[in-house]
Each structure stands twice: as C-alpha cells, then as structure tokens.
Amino acid sequence: MKQFTLRLPPDLYAKSVKVARRHKLSLNELARRGLEHITSKEAQAELQAAYDLLGSDSDSSVEAFLPAQREVVLGDD
C-alpha cells in the first residue's frame, strides 16, 4: 500500500470529517472510496468513448447480425 499526504482547506477538512463520521468511516477510508469512485467513473467514460467510436464508422454496422442475435437471445431455431 502506498501513502501520501493530502492537504485540504480547513472547511473541506471539517466537512469531510463530518461525512466520514456519519458513515462510520475513517477519513482515510472516505478519501480512498472517493478516489476509487472518481477513477472508476473516468475508466467508464473512456470505455464509453471507445464504444461510441466503434459505431461511428459506416463500415461498422451491426444490422446484418441482428437476426443472429435475436436467434441467440430468444432461443429460436
């Protein structure tokens, strides 16, 4: 595990301590969860952007495969 120092303005520190207490967490755990949330959201946004690029090219149409997808999902023979 890595350690680092986090400098907060006094008002943000006080608010963070109150939130941590309400959730019965240490300030360290609250900060860790917040960082995990932000990095997870960013990773999701990157994946969404890559996914959006897949459908932006006219050569990447998946309409031809819809009948096969329907067959798999519905169990049609």
Q: What is the pLDDT of residues 4-29, one digit of tens each?
A: 999 999 999 999 999 999 999 999 99
Position 55 scores a pLDDT of 67
What secondary structure does DSSP assign to 11-76, as a single string?
HHHHHHHHHHHHTT--HHHHHHHHHHHHHHHHHHHHHHHHHHHHTSSGGG--GGGHHHHHHHHHT-
Please tell me the predicted confidence (pLDDT) of residue 11.
Answer: 98
The answer, yes or no, to whether residue 58 has pLDDT greater than 80, is no
What are the extents of the domains in the chain?
10-74
62-77 residue pLDDT tens: 777 788 888 888 886 6
Q: Is residue 53's pLDDT more than 90?
A: no
pLDDT of residue 14: 98
